[in-house]
Amino acid sequence: MPLQYLIVFASTHPEFRLPELSSVGELYGFTVTLPLALEDRDPTRPYMVVELDQEEHAFALARRCILVKAIYEFYGQGSSYDELHACTRANEARWAHYVPDTSFRFIVTAHNHKIPQSRQRDVVESFAYMALLGKIEMKNPQILFGCFEEYSSRNGLLRSKHEGDGQFRQVYFGRLLVEGSARQLVGIYDVKKRAYYGNTSMEAEISLLMANQTLAAPGKLIYDPFMGTGSMAYVTSHFGGLVYGSDIDGRQMRGKGKVPGVIRAAKAYGTDSRILDLCTFDVTRNPWRCGGLFDAIVTDPPYGVRAGAKRLGRKKELNEEQLKTFMEYRNNPRVDDQPYIPPTKPYELSHLAVDLVLLAQHLLRPGGRLVFFLPTVTDEYAELDIQSMVCEGMEVIANSLQDFGSWGRRLVTIRKTTDREYPRPSFEPEQPAEAGHVPAHKDFREKYFQGFKKDDGETGGQTP
Amino acid sequence: MVRLITHNLLACHVKGCNTNNFPLQFRDIQIELREAEFNPDFLKGFMPKIEWKALVDAARQLGDTSLPLEQPEMLDDEFLKNLHHVLLEVKEV
Ligand SMILES: C[S@@+](CC[C@H](N)C(=O)[O-])C[C@H]1O[C@@H](n2cnc3c(N)ncnc32)[C@H](O)[C@@H]1O
């Protein structure tokens, strides 16, 4: 029979919670069965009761999931204490062996609310029927029982301290099995404490969530084609991945100093031996010899706000005379010449996104994953925006919004579902706009700088 | 300045470079050794992707003759250790 566990989530990034659970499950080869009722699997709720085949799976989730604060062995739940106690009694077999002589402690706490001390005591007393004979131990109890009341958010509404006390949506009860230990990585990989970072670096928590979406593990080959300062490399190599990074602008990866910045930062984390190489090239002219190489491609593509997307080429082709001069310089570089910096032209985001999926279709191994961010205009976003970039053999398995108000970015996870091999994408120059679907992320940069104005002249909310 | 695994994976796709686009030629022959974790499963999974002749040639140019001219059928520990060293620990500078 499957076992039931109560997951207490960290308060951040609700839309990333379930994808992370199932990714970590897939990584270790087990399934996390979510509750049947839609409202019980609503990822914005702070507690969730899931089923696992083995206790060991709960430990694996707690070790690896960034958004798991703690996991409890589940005993009961209800919309009232009567329901909760009935459920807990029915599950007596789960806790009966703690009755005779296990020292224990209770915590009674709430989400979106503070329970007055006096009622906390009442709640503890209401469990008297369990008839626990062990000692109550505040400091180092052998086991900890947790009782969690879930209140709906009353964001922005002023209310006195204990107002609405007892009017919870649901209450849960269980025994602490394990605290989430992966959350501490958020501090360890804090960008500001890093030996090398820049204004494109990705915050640690999101980077770690991305790493979990890649199923990073020892011996997996992982590639970031828009490497920048390497935020994806540190976290994926932390979990054992072997990492390739490339960028059109090598200075982003090198920074100043003799040892490249990305290597210096990785060394400080003890993972520099897993950064295989850093290569400077335009991804649309990438030199990978063949496809089917990588277990995952993980990247934060340039979307034009801080680090614009560029690709080699010129906005306008050279005229004959310019071409002659260019070839002359190119064929006879002067000895003291500066390194050749090739011209670049803008690379429109929706075009880049389509190319990225095609590139992943070619470069990924069967079952490999593409994990990337796609910025989007909140009001204009449609499910089809993502679906329309997908190509044969590629399946969207997660799509989580990080919401900034008028705009947001979606972490998209796509799996290569076939073992077919696909040719190198052509990265053909943009075709004239087709009559087909126009995604909301098209021309994101322009929309961003216009403040996401809509036709009625209304301006969007926050800037990033 | 890349590891030999990288050297084995990169080719030149520039138009008009089709004749001799792989492997890329070394400019100077100098090497640097870096340590990497030994992972036999990774090596076994990666073997089908290797252009074997190019790898052996590159290693020999850099003075390492530990790899056989043909990919062996039996992947014993000694072979995997040598392959590990050549692929991941030898860097041409
Ligand atoms: C948003 S940043 C990536 C930031 C990175 N995650 C970090 O931690 O710093 C995008 C990067 O893509 C690079 N880039 C832009 N166009 C490119 C292209 N056509 N090919 C390869 N890299 C490109 C930029 O130089 C920039 O470093």
**Tens digit of each residue's pLDDT (9 = 90 or more) over A374-414:** 988 878 887 778 888 899 999 999 999 999 888 889 999 99
Residue-wise pLDDT tens digits, A264-299: 999 999 999 999 999 999 999 999 999 999 999 999
Q: Are A224 and A244 in contact (CB under 8 A)?
A: yes
Cβ separation of A293 and B10 shorter than 8 Å?
no
Query: DSSP code of A416?
Result: E
Burial class for A241, CB neighbours closer than 10 Å (0-12, 13-18, 19+): buried
Gap between the Cα atoms of A152 and A22, Å rounded: 26
Q: Is B17 on the interface with A (CB under 8 A)?
A: no
For residue A302, pLDDT over 60 is answered with yes
Gap between the Cα atoms of A294 and A366, Å rounded: 9
Say how many C-beta atoms besides its own lie within 10 A of residue A227's C-beta.
28
Looking at residue A333, its pLDDT comes to 56
Q: Is B25 on the interface with A (CB under 8 A)?
A: no
A295–chain B nearest CA distance, Å: 11
For residue A462, pLDDT over 70 is answered with no
Looking at residue A19, its pLDDT comes to 98
CATH among 3.40.50.2000, 3.40.50.300, 3.30.2130.30, 3.40.30.10 for A3-153+162-182? 3.30.2130.30
Gap between the Cα atoms of B93 and B26, Å rounded: 9
Exposed e or buried b per residue across A365-390, where buried means at least 16 C-beta atoms within 10 angstroms of its C-beta: beebbbbbbbbbbbebbeeebbeebe
What average pLDDT does range A210-215 have in this prediction? Answer: 98
B80–chain A nearest CA distance, Å: 14
Q: Which two tokens stand for residue A340?
A: 């050749």
Q: Are A117 and A106 in contact (CB under 8 A)?
A: no
Looking at residue A440, its pLDDT comes to 82
Gap between the Cα atoms of B89 and B21, Å rounded: 24
Looking at residue A35, its pLDDT comes to 97
Cβ separation of B2 and A244 shorter than 8 Å?
no
For residue A5, pLDDT over 60 is answered with yes
| Ligand 1 centroid distance, CA of A324 (Å) | 31
Contacts of A424 in chain B (CB under 8 A): 13
Looking at residue A457, its pLDDT comes to 41
Residue-wise pLDDT tens digits, B9-66: 999 877 666 556 888 887 777 788 888 999 999 999 999 999 999 999 999 999 999 9
Q: Are A269 and A211 in contact (CB under 8 A)?
A: no
Looking at residue A335, its pLDDT comes to 53
Residue-wise pLDDT tens digits, A426-447: 888 655 555 578 888 888 877 8
Token pair 């209770």 in the structure block, residue = A106
Q: In what order do the strands lie in the sheet with A104-111?
A: A47-52, A3-9, A68-78, A170-179, A143-150, A104-111
Fold designation for A187-448: Rossmann fold (3.40.50)
Q: What is the DSSP pairing of strand B2-3 with strand B90-92?
A: antiparallel
Q: What is the mean pLDDT of chain A?
A: 90
Q: Is B83 on the interface with A (CB under 8 A)?
A: no
All residues at 6 or more sequence positions from A297 whose CB lies less than 8 Å from its CB, including other chains: A222, A223, A224, A225, A356, A359, A360, A363, A364, A368, A369, A370, A371, A372
Q: Which domain holds residue B86?
A: 2-92
Number of domains in chain B: 1
Looking at residue A459, its pLDDT comes to 43
Going by pLDDT thresholds of 50, 70 and 90, the confidence category of residue A108 is very high
- In terms of Cα–Cα distance, which of A127, A37, A137, A34 is closest to A82? A127
From the list B9, B35, B46, the residue facing A289 with the nearest CB is: B9
Gap between the Cα atoms of A21 and A74, Å rounded: 17
Token pair 């009674």 in the structure block, residue = A108
Encoded amino acid at A252, one letter: Q
Cα three-residue angle A415-A397-A240, rounded to 5 degrees: 60
For residue A307, pLDDT over 70 is answered with no
Query: DSSP code of B89?
Result: I
Looking at residue A359, its pLDDT comes to 98
Gap between the Cα atoms of A350 and A86, Å rounded: 54
| Ligand 1 centroid distance, CA of A444 (Å) | 16
Spell out the domain ranges in chain A: 3-153+162-182, 187-448
Q: Are B85 and B91 in contact (CB under 8 A)?
A: no
Looking at residue A157, its pLDDT comes to 63
Residue-wise pLDDT tens digits, A185-206: 999 999 999 999 999 999 999 9
For residue A329, pLDDT over 80 is answered with no
Q: Is A143 on the interface with B (CB under 8 A)?
A: no
Q: The whole model's pTM is what? A: 0.90
Residue-wise pLDDT tens digits, A52-73: 999 999 999 999 999 999 999 9
Exposed e or buried b per residue across A281-290, where buried means at least 16 C-beta atoms within 10 angstroms of its C-beta: bbbbebbbbe
Cβ separation of B42 and A424 shorter than 8 Å?
no
- In terms of Cα–Cα distance, which of A287, A425, A283, A422 is closest to B13? A287
Say how many C-beta atoms besides its own lie within 10 A of residue A94's C-beta.
17
Identify the CATH number of the domain in which residue B27 sits: 2.20.25.10
Gap between the Cα atoms of A290 and B49, Å rounded: 8
Residue-wise pLDDT tens digits, A334-389: 555 555 667 777 788 888 999 999 999 999 999 999 999 998 887 888 777 888 88
